[in-house]
A and B are shown apart, each in its own frame.
Chain A
Amino acid sequence: MAQGARIYSTDALGIFRAALIKFAESGNSALTSADSDIERVIGWLERDQTTFWAGQVRKRHERVLQLEDAVRQKRLFKDVDGTTKSAVDEMKMLAAAKRAEDEAVQKTVAVKRALGHLRKEAMMYKGRVQKLATTLQSDIPMAVHSLDAMMDHIEAYLQVQSTGQGINLGNSTEQISRAAGSEKVGWERLRDQTPKPDRRESATFTLIGADHPIHQPWKAGVMQEWQAKTLAGLGIERVLPDPDARVVLHPDVWTNGKIYLERMEPTGEADSGWYIGPATDNPTPGDPPAYISVRLGDVIQARPDFKELLGLPPTTLVVLDTGGPIAMFDQLGLDIWALALIKAAEPAPAAETPEPAAAT
């Protein structure tokens, strides 16, 4: 029988999720670097060392021939007093030259042998690390989606619990398990709730007066300065649309404790592409709500902190709850907010470790 769900903080899951993404990225990068190192040594043997030692064999052989000739000359020609000249020095030099030639020949053989051995070992190596490469590229993203689904259901569960409706813990666990196998997971499912272009275009344009409810305090928390700095740390280029460009709002979005902002491709010059609506798993069934279209400048007047978000590029999805941003997704579905939090928590990079000396 399934054990009851025992989850005390989705933040911990969020942090682990982000660490998992980071590990997959750094693991992929390490495997690529390792492959490059092997290829570099193969190239070094094929091009540099094969040519170098072949050249050395030729040069050193020529030197041996020169010294053999020198020894011969010494033995052939006698001194004025009729004695044979000493060739001891030339003999020593010849012996050293022959050793050097032998070394070059042995190196040539060693390079050829090493090349064959390394090519064979490189193939075996690739076979042994392939499973890890596949795991990093396929299984980790699945694990991340699984965590997304679980966090999503945990949030929903906690929300239900906090409203006093209550659900069975055992059922909750099963729901979470089911969610782990679901294809559509996490906050990204909110994208399905964003009104389509025709509906956004037909949203009623509303001029915001000073007494408009948009100016009341929003339940979704204001983005704090540290959160703005954290976001800035990602270095994403942000271009704030024209203040007169339109933003489509869910009619009572400011009354929701959890909201989302999604930027789609603008439908025209007057459209910023932004939609802001409640972040709920269970939108009210029935007729679509009476969306309103307002000036982006008016939205920023009501929520000055949104200035940090509304410059984010199309396809961005931002989720906020009462504490500010809790997730941000780019077009690849990557939670850039989690990455930003990790980056912000990292200590300043230490000086680079020098690369090991090149093989050549």
Chain B
Amino acid sequence: MGLEESRGKIGRGMRDLMTLWSSTQVHWNDDNTKNFEDKYLKPLEMDIKVAAGAMDQMAALLSQIRRECE
């Protein structure tokens, strides 16, 4: 699995997880839901965004290097 595929996997995984989280909230919706979301899911989303940006940038660089140096 290359970098671009890894980036896609992480992005899709997070999207699916948040979709599932929305449906979980149908069954569980109180102060603890919000606490859990604030404590774990929002930071996770932010980390994913930062990592995805880094992966996009690195994927573009690798592609450019492969093209220029082969």
Q: Are B69 and A143 within 8 A (Cβ)?
A: no
Complex contact A12–B26 (CB within 8 A): yes
Q: Which residues from B are CB-within-8-Å of A143?
A: 36, 39-41
Is A220 interfacial (CB 8 A cutoff)?
Answer: no
Q: Which residues of B contact A355 (CB under 8 A)?
A: 1-2
Determine if A7 and B27 form an interchain contact, defined as CB atoms under 8 angstroms apart.
yes
- The answer to whether B13 and A9 touch across the interface, beta carbons within 8 angstroms, is no
Whether the pair B30, A30 counts as a contact (CB closer than 8 A) is no
Cα of A131 to Cα of B49 in the assembled complex, Å: 11
Tell me whether A6 is interfacial, beta carbon within 8 Å: yes
CA distance A11 to B24 in the complex (A): 9
Q: Is the Cβ of A16 less than 8 Å from the Cβ of B20?
A: yes
The answer, yes or no, to whether A293 is at the interface (CB within 8 Å) is: no
Q: Mark B34-70, 1 if CB is under 8 A from A, else 0.
A: 0110011101100110110111011001100110111
Partner of A353 from B5, B30, B40, B61 at Cβ < 8 Å: B5
Question: Cβ of A3: which chain B residues have Cβ within 8 Å of it?
Answer: 30-31
User: Is there an interface contact between A26 and B30, defined as CB atoms closer than 8 Å?
Assistant: no
Number of B residues whose C-beta is below 8 Å from A?
47
CB within 8 Å for A41 and B30 given contacts A26-B13, A128-B53, A139-B43: no
Q: Find out whether the CB atom of B65 lies under 8 angstroms from the CB atom of A16.
A: no
Name which of A84-92, A106-114, A253-261, A262-270 contacts chain B: A106-114
Binding site for B on A (CB under 8 A): 2-9, 11-13, 15-16, 19-20, 23, 26-27, 29-31, 33-34, 37-38, 41, 45, 49, 53, 107, 110-111, 114, 117-118, 121-122, 124-125, 128-129, 131-132, 135, 139-140, 142-143, 146-147, 150, 173, 176-177, 180, 353, 355-356, 359-360
Asked if residues B6 and A7 are in contact (CB atoms below 8 Å), the reply is no
Q: What does DSSP make chain B's interface, helix, strand, loop or mixed?
A: helix
Query: How far is it, in angstroms, between the C-alpha of A15 and the C-alpha of B53 when the chains are bound?
Result: 29
Which of the residues B4, B10, B40, B66 comes within 8 Å of A140, measured between beta carbons?
B40
Chain B: CB-nearest residue to A5: B30
Task: Compute how far the CA of A330 lies from the CA of B62 in the bound complex, rounded to whole angstroms.
Answer: 40
Inter-subunit contact A49/B51 (CB<8 Å): no
Chain A positions within 8 Å of B44 at CB level: 135, 139-140
Instruction: Verify A129–B51 contact, CB threshold 8 A.
Output: yes
Contact B50 A9 (CB under 8 A): no
Q: Contact: A114 with B68, CB < 8 Å? A: yes
Supply 5 A–B pairs (Cβ within 8 Å), ascending by A. A31-B51, A33-B3, A34-B2, A132-B10, A139-B40
- When A and B form their complex, which 5 residue pairs have the shortest distance between CB atoms, in order from nearest? A12-B27, A128-B54, A30-B6, A143-B40, A33-B1
CB distance from B66 to the nearest CB of A (A): 5
Contact between chains at B36 and A146 (CB < 8 Å): yes
Among A5, A27, A107: residue with most chain B CB under 10 A: A27
Docked Cα-Cα span, A125 to B41, in Å, equals: 23
Q: A16-B21, A41-B62, A146-B40 are in contact. Are A132 and B70 (CB under 8 A)?
A: no
Query: Are B69 and A7 within 8 A (Cβ)?
Result: no
Roughly how many angstroms separate A118 CA and B69 CA in the complex, as a whole number?
12
Tell me the minimal C-beta distance from A12 to chain B in angstroms: 4
Give chain B nearest CB distance to A14 CB in angstroms: 10
Asked whether A359 and B17 contact (CB < 8 A) given A34-B7, A135-B47, the answer is no
